[in-house]
Amino acid sequence: MGVRGEIGLMSEYDTIDAERAADDRIAIVRLDAPEQNNVLDMEMIREFAAAITAADRDEDVWGIVVSATGDMFCAGADLNYLKELSFEEGTRFMTAYFEALDLLRETGKPVVAGVHGICAAGGNELVSACDLIVAESSARFTQPEAGVGATAAGGGVQLLPLIVGEKRAKDLLLTGRMIEAEEARAMGLINRVVPEDDAESRAIDLTKTVINNKSPQAYRTIKAIMKPWTNFGLLGQEMARDLTARVWDSDEFRERSEAFLADEDLEPRSFDGIRPPARSEE
């Protein structure tokens, strides 16, 4: 693996593929670890951030498309990796991940995601930070973290209520159910449903629509003015980082992650309230 076409300051990558589209004004940044279902680890997050930064800095790039290689868009964060993290390592991972999401939200250039296959957990959080999302009709979206004892606080808990509303967000987060592309479009999670094998090309077309017909100055201004809306959801970023790192550094998360990875049944756990039981009368 490695870069197949350099963009400005980009160098070679091991987990990211970055190149120019046929329209040289558009950079395509792909998750490129298909044999691992494009799971997110520290290396991929750092390389993704470097590729987005390079595209943002390149004055010849007018728009950015986020895509992926292989059959699955992204299976989320790598559980094998997460369950070995200490609290401090977890905070560093979350910091790097939030910084990658912020790059997508902060660039003045349009960022369009083209999704195929399954887009799960951290992958769904990643595309939610893009400006627009197109997905193939067979694409599936899910935030299944609660099933393995994780939190979806890498953006899912914060951004989903803003995008689809509180009740729909809780439905996705608490049940972890997988939804089809048409349902994702109907609830506002994505913008377009496109034919099979067309996600990336349609994402490029949508990017061209913006850069060909709209004022760059106006677009940057619109995006900047809208950014505080998502900032509102991310106000507790440091708290989410530390709480998530603490959850990853727990026996419950490790037990449930190992059971999930081994395809074993997850043991039900009791749900405790936050108030102490009533004192029994003596």
pLDDT tens for each residue of 171-215 = 999 999 999 999 999 999 999 999 999 999 999 999 999 999 888
Flag the least confident range among 43-57, 166-180, 212-226, 266-280.
266-280
Is a pLDDT exceeding 70 seen at residue 116?
yes
Q: How many domains does the chain have?
A: 1
The verdict on residue 275 lying in a domain is no
What angle do helix axes 166-175 and 156-164 make, rounded to 10 degrees?
A: 140
pLDDT tens for each residue of 129-165 = 999 999 999 999 999 888 877 887 777 788 888 899 9
Q: What is the mean pLDDT of residues 101-126?
A: 94
pLDDT (0 to 100) of residue 235: 60
Is a pLDDT exceeding 60 seen at residue 231?
yes
pLDDT (0 to 100) of residue 4: 41
The verdict on residue 5 lying in a domain is no
The verdict on residue 27 lying in a domain is yes
The verdict on residue 249 lying in a domain is no
| C-alpha angle 196-176-154 in degrees, rounded to nearest 5 | 90
The verdict on residue 265 lying in a domain is no
Residue range(s) defining the domain that contains residue 161: 16-240
CATH number at 54 reads: 3.90.226.10
What angle do helix axes 216-233 and 156-164 make, rounded to 10 degrees?
A: 120
The verdict on residue 95 lying in a domain is yes
Place of tokens 């997905």: 135
User: b/e per residue, 170-199, with b = 16+ CB within 10 A?
Assistant: ebbbeebeebebebbbebebbbbbbeeeeb
Among 126, 91, 98, which Cα is nearest to 248's? Answer: 91
Q: How far apart, in whole angstroms, are the C-alpha atoms of residue 65 and residue 213?
A: 17
The verdict on residue 7 lying in a domain is no
The verdict on residue 37 lying in a domain is yes
Q: 186 in the Ramachandran plot: left (φ > 0), alpha (ψ -120 to 50) or beta? A: alpha
Q: How far apart, in whole angstroms, are the C-alpha atoms of residue 201 and residue 197?
A: 8
Reduce the DSSP state of residue 228 to 3 states and report it: helix
- The separation between CA 118 and the C-alpha centre of its own chain, rounded to angstroms, equals 12
Which residues are known catalytic residues? 145
Q: What is this structure's pTM? A: 0.86
Q: Does 224 or 69 have the greater pLDDT score?
A: 69
